[in-house]
Amino acid sequence: MGFFDNFKEKATDLAQAGVAQSKRLAEIAKLKTSNMAEEDSIKKAYVEIGKLYYAEKGMAPDGAYAAACEKITAARAAIEANNDRIAELKAAGDGAEEPEDSDIYVVEEAVVEDVPEESAEEKEPDNQV
């Protein structure tokens, strides 16, 4: 029976090693998840710092921040222009009635592949020497 006792002992040791490895891997995964959450907190803090800086010095930024502040200012101007245009289009559409004989036609969507055939002169043999 010594063989079976030895086998049982090795199987128990192997199972315990597997459990220990699983615990280590689970803790590693938990710590990595925690690190990702902390990195997210850092990114949010950076964004908040940037917002505060832009709010305070966006119109007269220090040299190193000038380009980034200009990008923000330009993007805000573009957003404002787009919103103005959206408001114009909505206002034009609110009071206007669609004419009966409109140039707008509803067409069902179809996928058509138009592949032109090659002429005999354009075709080249595959294996030229």
**C-alpha count within 13 angstroms, C-beta hemisphere, residue 115:** 2
Does residue 108 belong to any structural domain of this protein?
Answer: no
Predicted pLDDT at 7: 86
Q: Is 19 found in the same domain as 66?
A: no
Q: Which segments in the chain show pLDDT lower than 50?
A: 99, 102, 104-115, 119-122, 129
Residue ranges making up the domain that contains 79: 61-95
Predicted pLDDT at 81: 97
Instruction: Extract the tokens encoding 92.
Output: 């034009």
Predicted pLDDT at 111: 46
The model's pTM: 0.51
**Residue holding tokens 């009071």?**
95
Does residue 38 belong to any structural domain of this protein?
Answer: yes
Q: Is 3 found in the same domain as 53?
A: yes
